[in-house]
Amino acid sequence: MSDIPHLLIPYAASASEGCQQTLSTLDLPHLDRLLARLAADPAHSSTAEETSFSTPHERALAQALGLTAEDGRPPWAAWYRQQRGQAVSGQAWAFVTPCQWQVTTDHVTLRDPEALGLDDESSRALLAIVSPWFTEDGIHLHYDQPTRWLAEGPLFADLATASLDRVLLRDVRAWMPDAARARTLHRLHSEMQMLLYTHAFNDARAERGLPTVNSFWVHGAGTLPASTPAPAPQMPLALRDAALHEDWRAWGAAWRALDAGPVAELLRQAEQGSAVRLTLCGDRAALAFHSAPRGLVQRIKARFQPTRFAQVAPQL
């Protein structure tokens, strides 16, 4: 199964009105031809509420890798370390993203971390400021990249956390980790807001016209299973930023590029007789398709009533 080419496409569709308008004019000829050749694969499809901690593409990716697909529990940080050849040692890891919470009377919105303007130097300086507070609670932070650090500690062994993609530009309160299991994190959120509110780090940023960093988001927590994860499918992220920012014109352009590139290549392999897999993911569902033997009736039906993306998109 792991040797079969597998294309997993996140943010393939959305219930957003803007997305629906774009879909009505979107022509994806290679995708339509590919779907017409493939059969639905219910065993690798899934649905969930839009308020679930894990996005559909995370669940699909976890399933493909042989990791737990339980909501909020795929151990992405530990898997990331392993992929980079770094020691995991059976310990629990998580990602920590420094961010800005924009607080109003009825919302606590997580702004896009990429808009903070953090570079390597400023992120490392911030890490040095907040690390002692985390260390006191048995959480050890490690630098990874400007908008994402790695955290190690027993707290993350059995903690469901919401994907950053779930909370980006939304009210974080619906996706906070369980208070009973994450008292430490809830307290650290309060302490970091108080610490950073009047800190010289943010004063210097304000003088440069940069946004305040006043909080953090924990995601991808857990431990790796004893078995070795399977090879990852091809998962292009070209649709992600456009969809999360609801830039549907850019999303449509990204889809056309995908159709002419990875989708066309998968179609070519399928037409040459190779077994292939395709997974399309939206806000609510991941729908899987695969090459499968079909009887005469099924082949005739597929020829005259082929599955097209316009039929699939409303289910995502």
3-state secondary structure of 90: coil
3-state secondary structure of 232: coil
Residue 297 pLDDT: 41
Any idea of the CA torsion for 265, 46, 4, 223, to the nearest 10 degrees? Answer: 120
Residue 304 pLDDT: 47
Residue 294 pLDDT: 55
3-state secondary structure of 255: helix
d(CA 202, CA 212): 6
Contact at 8 Å (CB) between 210 and 117? Answer: yes
Residue 303 pLDDT: 55
Consecutive sets of 10 residues in the chain, 316 residues long: mean pLDDT of each? 86 95 95 94 93 96 96 97 86 97 92 96 98 97 98 95 95 92 94 95 96 97 89 95 95 98 97 96 96 58 66 92
Q: Which residue has the tokens 């800190």?
A: 199
- Encoded tokens for 147: 């908008």
d(CA 305, CA 315): 18
Residue 110 pLDDT: 96
Residue 11 pLDDT: 97
* Domain boundaries defined on the chain: 6-66+230-315, 76-222
d(CA 238, CA 218): 24
Q: How many angstroms from the chain centroid is the CA of residue 223? A: 18
Contact at 8 Å (CB) between 114 and 263? Answer: no
